[in-house]
Structure 1
Amino acid sequence: MDRREFGFNLFEGFMLRHKSFSTPEELKSFLEISIPMDAYYSCAYYENPTAEMDRKGWIGADLIFDVDADHIPTDCDKVHDEWTCSACGFVGKGVTPEKCPICNGEKFNVTTWPCETCLESAKTETIKLLDMLMDDFGFSDREIYVFFSGHRGYHVQIESETVLALDAIARKEIVDYITGLGFNVKPLDTTQRYFYGWRKRINQSVLEFINKATEEDLVRIGLKRNLAKAIIQNKNVFLENWVSGTWRNIKGVGPETKRRIMEHSVKMRSAKIDTVVTTDIHRLIRLPNTLNGKTGLKKTWLPANEIESFDPFDEAIAFKKGTVPLFVSDAPRFRLGGETFGPYKRQKVELPTSAAVLLICKNKAEVLG
């Protein structure tokens, strides 16, 4: 603990860094006195954590992965994510543009929302990541720590002597593997048995994709409609051909067709992570069991083998007592702590504290009285 740097976002509007604590009790005392909005600690270990960055004396760092809905394409962002141009005040929904369509301004205030679709997509990507870390890299569940971030995703942290000394370049190689970047998509010898790695992953993915695919699915990945129709009409033959490695009876299916299907399989099986976080050997990450200032939910540890059943809208709640009277300007329908709330539009309501804190953190409500 005393080898890590700690940092804090304060309500006064600035960040306090280069702090160090020898014991959990010392850290707790600091939090009680300073009451920061957000608390972080470094993935890195230093000889002198309180020094300026170039004098800290880097010893090594844990391997960190950040899976966030911001990096995962979903349809729901068009419904609940909102951006406001800092220059002219124009408001839009969905993905934030590079420039304001009204004044060409390039600075925006962005409001996102942690909906169930967002968090389910982040969970799916985290499961794919964990599969690769354990099956391909050989990390055990004793070395892997999984956390709900308290907002729109999950953090995966590996504490192991194996990764401690890896530099940014080595970590970039791991990132490339996880994301499938640069994978040579050449036709597989499908008669061989692939028991590990990307070859096994692609082989399984192709079979699953074709088995469930519609004609439109195949057109979307770049196949011509007549070829897509032929594959769907001869789906069982295609699957038999893929397993046997002998291609017959489907006119037009050749290396280019297989390449497109395999490229799609790589996209589907790769894990969508924030690549910058993993390669940054000095990264500050949110302190476990502290509140996320964007939601009021806790960064919550969970066993890696229980991620599928983990419910962040129930298990990450910090405030479980009391109610708060609010004026809600605009809020979507949401679930929290076994209850469903909203939607609200310019309404006075009294909500459980956890729901009230979420709306306040998202700048969608103000406390009355």
Structure 2
Amino acid sequence: DIDADHIPTPCGKVHDVWVCSNCGAVGRGVSPKKCPACGERKFNEKTWPCEVCLESAKVEAIKLIDILTKDFGFSSGELKVGFSGHRGYHVHVESEEVRALDSMARKEIVDYVLGIGLEAEFHGLGERGGKWSRVLAGPDLYDLGWRGRIARGTYDLLLTASPEELEKIGLKKRVVDTITQHKEALLESWEEKGPWGIIKGIGTESWRKIAQYGVEKQSVKIDTVVTTDIHRLIRLANTLHGKTGLKKIEVPITGIEHFDPLKSAVTFKEGTVTVLVSDAPKFRLGDETYGPYKEQEIELPTAAALMLLCKGAAKVVE
């Protein structure tokens, strides 16, 4: 189970709202651990599906499919992928070999998918050579399993990270300056043996921190509770999700990269409904964009009105 709620995205600060269940204090984004006004720890949350968070969830689904097929050996025919109807994706493995797995066995799979306990030193990162001549080596982009993922996560960091982001993972400013200065050479080095040890001033410990970042970037952000619970009900395909009015829809694995849930999962395509909207952010359905709305009476296509009603952001005008 993959849900955008478990994936940090900047769009949450725009469209997600939390309300303290005790004092009514309101804020945007991820709810705090405790209310800044009264200290309460319970909140009512309103989350919205948008293109950014839905795309982030789809990226995680693609990463999960990659692990299930390449690492675990399942065929694409044994996998079924579905958009949940809200903010995520369900990936089902339909194989007799895994049908009887209990919660503990599922937990082991979860740990592998999340990269729990992975250390780069056990996946190719380390010094090689004799007593008098030792060089730092590491995994390659084309290695299989987590070795390759660590390398690709490292490449992603070298390609996209700002100096501030490099410092956040624990690198010293001197090391950050060296990486920034030699960025082009580090990226070009992947065509041969990779960047490990080619630049003086970036030691083994720094590369270990960078590689561990690779683990974090390449891990799949799944809902661990839902994934390990063998008693959960499964939402059936083509049923409506009560938080959006969108339907759960199966997604072909070969076409998942181009799948647009805000088009394909829309069910009600005819008619209009007049609603009184209390507060709603800007959102898209199909090819049309709606909102933002604040204390506004408006006639909307049925699908857009239903989205607002399901979110508790509007009432039907009789």
User: Counterpart in 2 of 1:320?
Assistant: 269
TM-score (norm 1): 0.78
Counterparts in 2 of 1:88 and 1:202: CA distance versus 1, 3 Å: same
**Aligned equivalent of 2:168, options 205, 220, 239:** 220
Q: Distance in 2 between matches of 1:309 and 1:358?
A: 23
What is the alpha-carbon distance in structure 2 between the residues aligned to residue 133 and residue 314 of structure 1? 27
* 1:206 partner amino acid: T
Percent identity between matched residues is 58
Q: Name the residue aligned to 2:8.
A: 73
SS of the residue 1:286 aligns to: coil
SS in 2 for 1:301: strand
Question: Per-residue CA shift, 1:89-123, capped at 9, x if unaligned?
Answer: 22222111232222222322111111111101111
CA distance in 2, matches of 1:120, 1:291: 21
Find the aligned partners of 2:195 and 2:292 in 1 and give their Cα distance: 56
CA RMSD in angstroms, aligned pairs only: 1.9
Partner of 1:50: none
Residue identity in the other structure for 1:214: S
Q: Matches of 1:257 and 1:279 in 2, distance apart? A: 35
Provide the rounded CA distance (Å) in 2 between the counterparts of 1:200 and 1:247.
Answer: 14
4+ residue runs over 4 A deviation: 191-194, 239-243, 245-249
Q: Post-superposition shift, 1:248?
A: 5.5
- Tell me if the contact between 2:271 and 2:302 (Cα under 8 Å) persists in the aligned partners: yes
Q: Which residue, out of 188, 196, 204, partners 1:255?
A: 204
Distance change >3 Å, CA 206–CA 103, structure 1 → 2: closer
- 1:136 aligns to what? 71
**Contact in 2 for aligned 1:241/1:248 (Cα 8 Å):** no
- Aligned twin of 2:225: 276
8 Å CA contact 2:81–2:90 kept in 1: the answer is: yes
Q: Distance in 2 between matches of 1:135 and 1:339?
A: 38
Q: What residue in structure 2 maps to residue 231 of structure 1?
A: 179
Structure 1: how far apart are the matches of 2:141 and 2:301?
55
Partner of 1:284: helix, strand, or coil? coil
- Among residues 258, 269, 290, which one is paired with 1:341 in the alignment? 290
User: Matched residue pairs, number?
Assistant: 304
Unaligned runs of at least 5 residues, structure 1: 1-65
Please tell me whether residue 200 in structure 1 is matched to residue 151 in structure 2: no
**d(CA) in 2 for partners of 1:246, 1:210:** 10
Partner residue of 1:164?
A: 99
Give the Cα separation in 2 of the matches to 1:212 and 1:111.
32
* 1:51-95 Cα shifts (integer Å, max 9, x gaps): xxxxxxxxxxxxxxx110110011111121111122222222211
C-alpha separation in 2, matches of 1:280 and 1:70: 18
Tell me how far 1:202 sits from its aligned partner: 1.2
Contact 1:180 1:270 (8 Å CA) reproduced: yes
Q: TM-score, normalised by structure 2?
A: 0.90
- Output aligned runs, 1:1-369, within 5 Å: 66-186=1-121, 187=125, 189-190=137-138, 195-239=143-187, 243-244=192-193, 250-369=199-318
Structure 2 partner of 1:39: none
SS for the counterpart of 2:91 is: strand
CA distance in 2 between counterparts of 1:351 and 1:174 reads 45
SS in 2 for 1:142: helix
- Is contact 2:83–2:248 with CA below 8 Å preserved after alignment? yes
Does the C-alpha gap of structure 1 residues 89 and 143 become closer, same or farther in structure 2, counting only changes over 3 Å? Answer: same
CA spacing shift, 1:191–1:199, aligned 2, 3 Å: closer
CA distance in 2, matches of 1:247, 1:363: 53
